[in-house]
Amino acid sequence: MMTAPSRTASRRRATSESTVELELDLDGTGASHIDTSVPFFDHLLTAFAKHSLTDLTVRASGDTAIDVHHTVEDVSIVLGSAIGEALGDKAGISRYGDALVPLDDALAQAVVDVSGRPYLVHDGEPAGFELHLIGGHFTGSLVRHTFEAISFHARLTTHIRVLAGRDPHHIAEAEYKAFARAFRQAKSFDPQVVGIPSTKGAL
């Protein structure tokens, strides 16, 4: 009986603004060890790991005394690159995933296509969300920015919609959980899929 190839990746990125070390296993149990030096982002990445069943270790530091933006952006770039590497040739995967996730007042929908064509459609966050400091340090605008970086570097087509929500913490977390659940479906192996799930023969 053939065994599926290991879908793991290990990445490091160092710039004058941040240093990021990341390891992941797409076929894990959702275990995580996250320390980005940005507490709310740690919270979001922990939720992503748990609900996508991806084992994830992240260690990052950066110029957060200036702004958390650089560190959050660079972690997202590395995460996307690692996902793309771990997916390999994508043979046998479901390719598509969708999820609708509530969190109290918030409701978010995510649809993911492991297409090889990076694209993000993101809407529905309430007016002013992008300016809100969640936890006093994480600007709401970073939520969309992280999805842009992850989708581009993992080469995913991602649609995310916020359908309801009042509390910024709940909205951001619902978006991440919806993305995680959709990605979990998309990356999963489908026993009925033979080879690459595309008429082109490549993704």
98 in a domain, yes or no? yes
Q: Are 165 and 107 in contact (CB under 8 A)?
A: yes
What's the rounded mean pLDDT across residues 171-176? 98
Give the chain's mean pLDDT. Answer: 95
Question: Does residue 198 lie in a domain region?
Answer: no
At 199, is the pLDDT very low, low, confident or very high (cuts 50, 70, 90)?
confident
Tokens 């290991």 appear where?
Answer: 6
Does residue 96 belong to any structural domain of this protein?
yes
For 116-125, the pLDDT digits (tens) are: 999 999 999 9
**Contact yes or no for 179/110 (Cβ under 8 A):** yes
Residues 140-146 have a mean pLDDT of 98
d(CA 83, CA 108): 22
Residue 1 pLDDT more than 60? no
Does residue 197 lie within any of the structural domains?
no
Neighbours of 29 (CB within 10 A): 11
* Predicted local distance difference test score (pLDDT) of residue 83: 98
Instruction: Give domain status of residue 3, yes or no.
Output: no
Name the pLDDT band for 4 (thresholds 50, 70, 90).
low
Task: Classify burial at 141, counting beta carbons within 10 Å of its beta carbon; exposed 0-12, middle 13-18, buried 19 or more.
Answer: middle
Run of H or E including 12: strand 8-14
pLDDT in tens, 11-36: 999 999 999 999 999 999 999 999 99
Total domains, the chain? 1
Model confidence band, residue 201 (pLDDT cutoffs 50, 70, 90): confident
Q: Does some domain include residue 201?
A: no
Say which CATH number the domain at 125 has.
3.30.230.40
Q: Which of 73, 12, 68 is nearest to 38 (CA)?
A: 68
pLDDT above 60 (res 163): yes
Q: Tell me which H or E stretch contains 178.
A: helix 168-187
Distance CA 183, CA 58 (A): 19
Residue 2 has pLDDT above 50, yes or no: no
- 203 falls within a domain: no
Structure tokens at 148: 């842009």
Instruction: Report yes or no on 113 lying in a domain.
Output: yes
pLDDT of 12: 97
Task: Tell me which residue range forms the domain holding 75.
Answer: 8-187
Q: What average pLDDT does the segment 164-192 reach?
A: 97
| Nearest-angstrom CA–CA distance, 49 and 27 | 11
Integer Cα distance of 73 and 142 in angstroms: 8
Q: What percent of the chain is predicted at pLDDT more than 90?
A: 92
Decide the pairing of beta strands 138-139 and 133-134: antiparallel
Q: Is the pLDDT of residue 37 over 70?
A: yes
Q: Average pLDDT of 156-165? A: 98
